[in-house]
């Protein structure tokens, strides 16, 4: 099984003429809706503050890019930046989770939109702790909103789950996937990547794993449809790793990091940041990827 890199990668690069995205563009979220690929990405300019940019495409490869950020930090909530968006559509609303960065550290951010331009923030109630790699499931499960996250507890970090009735109060937090064994490709930490994708076999989760050399690779796991806290299968080997120059050399070397994927015409499109500097995409046939489970 192999993800095929788009020969035109990177699909987005920094734009020197736009101050807010002049240095880095990376870690894209993706949602496919009504025949369009909607891409949200993290961008940084010379001020070192992360903002969220937006681009749209009809084929998933060539994107029209907005010249201004669609989501910018609030001075009180996240003065140091809005990082690593993930987006899902639940009913008629798009929900974006992101990392809110302030003097207190990194926290879970949540906002919603119907048009990717006007956003409503949610003041979620959560224990004060550093937390990131947050992604919602694209539908309610058992009548509840379900979210994956990664509390930054201790040296080794793993994937946790949480539940909510209203997107404000969250409960039931517990670990569902631990990092790998010492010496493995995911020995240091793991975190949720793209939003879970519903399949006949369960919820497909593409996630990132990091080893002792700080190499970021992508892995794949399957969670139970009825109870996503239950791990059905976890593929032992990475499904994607840094190989090309734009993945090996950049702001942070040796990184492939996905925040979004979608299924279109029996093919998965996986959008990822290359070396924390550019936005890229790789594809794989649905049957080929699901064949590993």
Q: pLDDT, tens digit, for every residue of 179-201? A: 999 999 999 999 999 999 999 99
Peptide bond preceding 10: is omega within 30 degrees of 0, i.e. cis?
A: yes
Q: pLDDT, tens digit, for every residue of 50-107? A: 999 999 999 999 999 999 999 999 988 899 999 999 999 999 999 999 999 999 999 9
**For position 222, what pLDDT does the model report?**
98
State the DSSP H helix or E strand holding residue 4, giving kind and residue range, or none if neither: strand 4-5
pTM: 0.97
Kindly give, in sequence order, each residue whose CB lies less than 8 Å from that of residue 12, ignoring residues fewer than 6 positions away. Answer: 25, 28, 39, 41, 55, 63, 65, 278, 279
Kindly give, in sequence order, each residue whose CB lies less than 8 Å from that of residue 78, ignoring residues fewer than 6 positions away. Answer: 100, 101, 102, 107, 109
* Residue 203: strand pairing partners: 198, 223
Q: Which long-range contacts (CB under 8 A, 24 or more apart) does 230-235 make?
A: 230/176, 231/176, 231/177, 232/201, 232/202, 232/293, 233/202, 233/293, 234/177, 235/292, 235/293
- Which residue do the tokens 């279109």 mark? 264
Taken in order of first residue, the domains within the chain and their CATH numbers are 10-290 (2.115.10.20)
């Amino acid at each position: 099984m192999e993800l095929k890199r788009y020969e035109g990668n990177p699909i987005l690069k920094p734009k020197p003429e736009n101050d807010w995205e002049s240095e880095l563009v990376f870690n894209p979220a993706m949602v496919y809706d009504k025949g369009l690929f909607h891409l949200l990405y993290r961008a940084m300019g010379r001020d070192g503050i992360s903002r969220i940019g937006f681009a749209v495409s009809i084929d998933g490869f060539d994107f029209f890019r907005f010249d201004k950020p669609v989501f910018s930090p609030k001075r009180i909530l996240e003065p140091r930046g809005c990082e690593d968006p993930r987006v899902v559509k639940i009913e008629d609303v798009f929900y974006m989770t992101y990392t809110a960065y302030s003097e207190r550290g990194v926290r879970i951010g949540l906002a919603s939109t119907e048009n990717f331009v006007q956003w409503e923030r949610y003041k979620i109630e959560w224990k004060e702790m550093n937390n990131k790699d947050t992604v919602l499931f694209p539908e309610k499960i058992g009548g509840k909103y379900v979210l994956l996250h990664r509390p930054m507890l201790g040296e080794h970090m793993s994937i946790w789950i949480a539940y909510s009735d209203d997107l404000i109060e969250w409960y039931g937090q517990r670990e569902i996937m631990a990092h790998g064994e010492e010496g493995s490709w995911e020995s240091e930490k793991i975190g949720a990547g793209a939003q879970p994708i519903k399949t006949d076999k369960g919820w497909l989760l593409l996630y990132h794993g990091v080893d002792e050399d700080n190499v970021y690779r992508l892995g794949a796991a399957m969670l139970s449809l009825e109870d996503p806290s239950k791990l059905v299968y976890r593929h032992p080997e990475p499904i994607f790793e840094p190989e090309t120059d734009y993945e090996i050399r950049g702001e942070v070397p040796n990184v492939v990091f996905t925040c979004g994927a979608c299924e279109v015409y029996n093919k998965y499109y996986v959008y990822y940041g290359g070396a924390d500097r550019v936005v890229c995409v790789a594809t794989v046939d649905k049957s080929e990827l699901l064949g590993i489970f």
